[in-house]
C-alpha cells in the first residue's frame, strides 16, 4: 500500500509516543524489535551502519506531526456523528485509522503486544491521553457501532486489534467528507432505476413481497431480510431494483470496493476475501442507514459469504444469523445456488422467494420489449420464446449486441439468434433441443384402440376443457402412443415436458424422489403437460419390489400425480408390470393395438402415393395382422433415402419383415436395397 506523507507523519507521531512508554534500549537487543523499528522509521535493517534505537526514534520524531489537520478533524467529526459516537473517541479513531493503513505501525504494536500483553492497552491509553478504563469503554462503543468486528472479551487477542474497515480509514485520513453519504460511497454502489414494469412481472405473485417491503421502508429501523434464489440470469437483481422502485426507496448494493485491497482494482491482492469484506461492509452500512426511511440493501451472489475455505475467515453461525435477523434494515440477499446455503441460514430470512423460469407467453412479452424498433417480426419473437433454458439476461445481452452493430430485420434476427445459441452452448445447454419429430403426419383415424369406456376424442376433449386429466397409453411399440400425445398437446396448445423413466431414476438414495418432485414443480411453473415414457420402469408393482427405494419412488410419483393440475400422460409397452394403485389413478386407460386391415390398406395407399393398388398384393397385406403405424414410418424413412420410387412389392416386403419380427421371426441383417 502506498503511504501518503500525511499518514507517515501521523504514524510517526503515534509511534514516537508509544515507544516513549517502553525501555527501547532493552528492546533494541531483540532482532524482531529492530526490524519493526527500522520499518516504521524508514531505515533498511541491513544498512543500519552503527545506528542505535535513539537515532531511529529521532528520525521518527523529526517526521512526526503533533497537530491534527483540520480536514482530518472534520472527517472524524462527521464519522462520529454518523455512527452515534461521542467526540471523545476521536483520538482512538485516528489511531485506529493509522493501525489499519500502516503495516509498519501494526507490526510494531503486534510486537509490543506479544511481550507486554498485560499493559499494552494502558500504554495506548497514555498515548491517547486518556485512562485505560475510558479506552476500554471507547473500544466497546466502536464495537457496538460495527466498526470493530470482534467481541470486546477477545478483542485484545485478535489479529485485527484496533483495525477499522479499510475503506472507512482511507476516507477519514485521505478524503474530504461532507456528510455520511460520502462514507457510504466507499462501501456501497447506488443501483440504477429498474427498467421493468408491473406488466413485465405479471407472471410473478409479488403481493406479499411488495406489501412487506413498502411497510418496512416507510418508517426505517425495521428488520426485514429477503432471499431471492433461482438460476443465473433469471432476473433476480432486476426484481430487487423493481421492488425498491415501487417502494420509492434507494437500493444500495454492498460491495468490497475500496476495502482492504492493496490495489482497489484487484481483489486477489486484498488482505481479506471479498465475502468477508462484503459482510463487514453490510454490518457497517446497516448501522449507518438503519434509521433511514426508504433505503434497502442488496447483497448479490451471497452464497460465497457462507463458503468455508482456507483463505476465508470462519464466521460463527451466531454472527451470521444475527446479521440476517437483527440488523434494522430491509435487505435483499441473492443467490444462484441455494444448495450452498445452510438450512439454519435459510430459516433466518423473513421471506424466501424463488424466481421461476419464464413461460412462453412471458418470454414473448419480454422479447418484444427488448427488440422494439429492430423490426424482427412477431414470428421470430414467437420462435425465440420456445427456446429452452432462455433467460432474460440472454435476451438482453444478445439484443444489446444487435443494437451496437446497428442491425435490423434479418441481420438483427441472425445476430440475436447466433448470440443466444453460442451463449447456451457455452453454458452446457443445447441451443437446438431434441424434440419429437414424426416421420409422417399423425392421423387419429389410423389408431386402433381397444377400450369400452374411452376414445381419443374423449381424451382430447378432457385435455382441452379440463386440463387436469391423467391418461395411460399402453400397447405394443409403434402403435402411435407417443405420436398421439404430441399431436394432442400441440392441438391444445400445451408445452410438453417429455421424460423417460431413466431420466428420473438415480442410484443415489433419495435422488429419484427429488427428480420427480422437480419435474412436477417445473411443469407447474411453466404450465406444461408431462409425458412419462417407459412408465413401467418407474411405476412397477410395489408387491414385486425388491428394494425399499422402489416403493418410495412409486409413492412419491403417486403423491405428485394426485396434486398435479395439468395434463399427465404415461406410456408403456408392458402394462402388466404396473402397480395396481397406479392404474386406478388414471382417468383414461387406452390400449392401442395393431392396425385393422382397412387401416393397413389406407396407410399403404397414403405412404405409397398416387397409383392403383395391386389386388394380389392387398390380399397378402391383409394377412399381416401385427402391423402398426410405426412400421409405415419405417417405410417412409427408407423411401426418403432412396433415389428411386419404391415399388408396391418392395413396400410389402418391408412390412412383412416387420410383421414377422413381432411373431417371433428374425430381422435380416444388411443394407436396404
Domain layout of the chain by residue ranges? 5-178, 187-354, 360-427, 444-592, 597-662
Give CA separation, 617 vs 66, 541, 613, 650, 658, in Å: 115, 45, 8, 11, 16
Identify whether the C-beta of residue 112 lies closer than 8 Å to the C-beta of residue 22: yes
Question: Residue with C-alpha cell 424482427?
Answer: 376
Question: Residue with C-alpha cell 406479499?
Answer: 208
Kindly report the number of other CB atoms within 10 A of residue 578's CB atom: 21
H or E element at residue 327: none
Angle, helix 90-101 to helix 132-145, in steps of 10 degrees? 70
Per-10-residue mean pLDDT of the chain, 673 residues long, equals 78 91 87 86 77 84 82 93 91 92 89 86 93 92 76 44 85 89 86 86 90 89 90 87 94 72 38 67 84 89 69 61 83 89 90 85 86 91 83 89 94 92 79 56 84 75 81 88 87 84 74 85 86 78 53 80 89 76 81 91 88 88 92 87 85 91 65 47
State how far the Cα of 361 lies from the Cα of 1, in Å rounded to an integer: 54
Nearest to 302 by CA among 338, 269, 329: 338
Shared fold status for 360-427 and 444-592: no
Handedness of CA 656, 659, 661, 667 (dihedral sign): positive
| 533 contact partners, CB below 8 Å, separation of at least 6 | 482, 498, 499, 500, 501, 571
The one-character DSSP state at 340 is G
Q: Strands 448-450 and 250-254: what pairing?
A: unpaired
CATH topology of domain 444-592: Rossmann fold (3.40.50)
Identify whether the C-beta of residue 425 lies closer than 8 Å to the C-beta of residue 456: no
Question: Residue with C-alpha cell 441481420?
Answer: 411
HEC per residue, 261-324:
ECCCCCHHHECCCHHHHHHHHHHHHHHHHCCCCCEEEEECCHHHHHCCCCCCCCCCHHHHHHHH
Measured at the alpha carbon of residue 84, what is the angle toward residues 80 and 90, in degrees to the nearest 5? 30
Q: Strands 250-254 and 188-190: what pairing?
A: antiparallel
The pLDDT of residue 270: 42
Nearest to 533 by CA among 519, 543, 547, 548: 519
Please provide the CATH number assigned to the domain covering 360-427: 1.10.8
The pLDDT of residue 585: 81
The one-character DSSP state at 7 is H
Give CA separation, 101 vs 62, 163, 354, 462, 532, in Å: 21, 9, 42, 73, 63
State how far the Cα of 576 lies from the Cα of 544, in Å rounded to an integer: 12
Q: Report the Cα 318 to chain-centroid distance in Å.
A: 25
State how far the Cα of 188 lies from the Cα of 185, in Å rounded to an integer: 6
Max intra-chain CA distance, the chain: 122
DSSP bridge pairs for 254:
188
The pLDDT of residue 362: 82
CATH topology of domain 187-354: Rossmann fold (3.40.50)
Q: Per the structure block, which three cell numbers stand in for 105?
A: 505501525
Identify whether the C-beta of residue 530 lies closer than 8 Å to the C-beta of residue 520: yes
DSSP bridge pairs for 448:
593
Q: Per the structure block, which three cell numbers stand in for 334?
A: 441473492
Kindly report the number of other CB atoms within 10 A of residue 357's CB atom: 17
State how far the Cα of 75 lies from the Cα of 82, in Å rounded to an integer: 11
Amino acid at each position: 500500500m502506498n503511504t501518503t506523507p500525511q499518514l507517515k507523519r501521523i504514524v510517526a507521531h503515534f509511534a514516537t509516543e508509544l515507544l516513549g512508554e517502553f525501555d527501547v534500549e532493552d528492546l533494541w537487543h531483540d532482532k524482531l524489535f529492530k526490524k519493526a523499528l527500522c520499518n516504521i522509521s524508514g531505515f533498511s535493517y541491513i544498512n543500519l551502519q552503527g545506528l542505535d534505537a535513539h537515532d531511529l526514534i529521532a528520525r521518527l520524531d523529526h517526521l512526526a506531526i503533533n497537530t491534527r489537520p483540520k480536514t482530518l478533524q472534520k472527517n472524524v467529526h462527521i464519522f462520529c456523528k454518523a455512527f452515534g459516537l461521542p467526540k471523545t473517541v476521536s483520538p482512538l479513531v485516528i489511531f485506529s485509522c493509522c493501525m489499519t493503513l500502516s503495516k509498519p505501525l501494526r507490526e510494531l504494536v503486534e510486537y509490543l503486544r506479544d511481550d507486554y500483553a498485560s499493559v499494552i492497552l494502558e500504554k495506548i491509553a497514555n498515548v491517547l491521553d486518556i485512562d485505560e478504563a475510558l479506552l476500554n469503554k471507547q473500544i466497546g462503543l466502536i464495537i457496538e457501532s460495527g466498526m470493530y468486528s470482534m467481541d470486546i472479551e477477545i478483542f485484545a487477542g485478535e489479529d485485527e486489534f484496533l483495525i477499522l474497515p479499510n475503506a472507512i480509514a482511507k476516507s477519514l485520513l485521505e478524503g474530504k467528507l461532507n456528510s455520511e453519504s460520502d462514507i457510504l460511497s466507499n462501501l456501497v454502489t447506488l443501483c440504477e432505476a429498474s427498467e421493468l414494469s408491473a406488466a413485465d412481472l405479471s407472471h410473478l405473485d409479488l403481493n406479499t413481497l411488495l406489501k412487506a417491503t413498502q411497510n418496512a421502508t416507510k418508517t426505517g429501523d425495521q428488520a426485514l431480510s429477503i432471499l431471492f434464489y433461482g438460476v443465473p440470469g433469471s432476473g433476480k437483481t432486476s426484481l430487487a431494483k423493481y421492488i425498491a422502485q415501487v417502494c420509492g426507496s434507494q437500493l444500495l448494493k454492498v460491495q468490497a470496493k475500496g476495502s482492504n485491497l492493496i490495489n482497489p482494482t484487484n481483489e486477489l491482492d486484498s488482505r481479506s476475501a471479498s465475502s468477508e469484506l462484503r459482510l463487514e461492509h453490510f454490518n457497517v452500512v446497516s448501522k449507518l442507514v438503519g434509521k433511514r426511511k426508504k433505503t434497502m440493501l442488496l447483497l448479490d451472489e451471497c452464497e460465497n459469504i457462507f463458503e468455508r475455505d482456507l483463505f476465508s475467515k470462519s464466521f460463527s453461525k451466531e454472527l451470521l444469523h444475527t446479521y440476517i435477523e437483527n440488523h434494522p434494515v430491509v435487505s435483499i440477499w441473492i443467490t444462484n445456488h441455494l444448495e450452498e446455503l445452510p438450512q439454519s441460514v435459510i430459516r433466518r430470512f423473513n421471506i424466501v422467494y424463488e424466481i421461476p423460469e419464464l413461460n412462453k407467453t412471458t418470454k414473448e412479452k419480454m422479447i418484444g420489449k427488448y427488440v422494439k424498433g429492430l423490426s424482427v417480426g412477431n414470428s421470430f419473437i414467437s420462435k425465440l420464446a420456445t427456446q429452452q433454458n432462455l433467460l432474460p439476461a440472454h435476451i438482453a445481452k444478445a439484443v444489446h449486441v444487435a443494437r451496437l452493430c446497428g442491425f435490423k430485420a434479418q441481420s438483427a434476427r441472425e445476430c440475436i439468434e447466433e448470440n443466444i445459441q453460442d451463449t447456451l452452448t457455452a453454458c452446457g445447454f443445447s441451443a437446438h433441443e431434441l424434440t419429437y419429430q414424426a416421420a409422417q403426419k399423425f392421423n387419429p383415424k389410423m389408431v386402433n384402440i381397444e377400450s369400452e369406456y374411452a376414445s381419443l376424442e374423449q381424451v382430447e376433449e378432457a385435455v382441452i376443457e379440463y386440463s387436469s386429466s391423467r391418461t395411460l397409453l399402453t400397447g405394443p411399440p409403434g402403435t402411435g402412443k407417443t405420436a398421439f400425445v404430441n399431436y394432442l398437446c400441440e392441438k391444445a396448445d400445451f408445452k410438453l415436458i417429455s421424460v423417460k423413466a431413466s431420466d428420473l431414476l438415480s442410484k443415489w438414495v433419495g435422488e429419484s424422489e427429488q427428480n420427480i418432485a422437480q419435474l412436477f414443480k417445473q411443469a407447474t411453473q411453466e404450465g406444461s403437460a408431462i409425458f412419462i415414457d417407459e412408465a413401467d420402469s418407474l411405476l412397477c408393482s410395489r408387491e414385486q419390489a425388491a428394494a425399499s427405494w422402489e416403493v418410495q419412488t412409486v409413492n412419491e410419483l403417486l403423491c405428485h400425480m394426485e396434486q398435479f393440475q395439468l395434463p399427465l400422460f404415461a406410456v408403456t409397452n408392458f402394462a402388466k408390470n404396473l402397480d395396481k394403485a397406479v392404474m386406478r389413478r388414471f382417468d383414461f386407460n387406452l390400449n392401442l393395438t395393431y392396425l385393422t386391415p382397412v387401416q393397413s390398406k389406407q396407410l399403404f395407399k397414403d405412404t405409397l402415393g398416387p397409383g392403383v393398388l395391386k389386388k394380389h398384393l392387398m390380399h397378402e397385406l391383409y394377412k399381416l395382422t401385427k402391423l402398426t403405424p410405426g412400421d409405415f414410418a419405417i417405410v417412409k424413412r427408407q423411401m426418403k433415402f432412396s433415389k428411386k420410387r419404391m415399388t408396391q412389392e418392395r413396400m410389402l416386403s418391408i412390412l412383412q419383415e416387420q410383421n414377422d419380427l413381432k411373431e417371433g421371426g428374425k430381422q435380416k441383417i444388411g443394407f436396404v436395397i
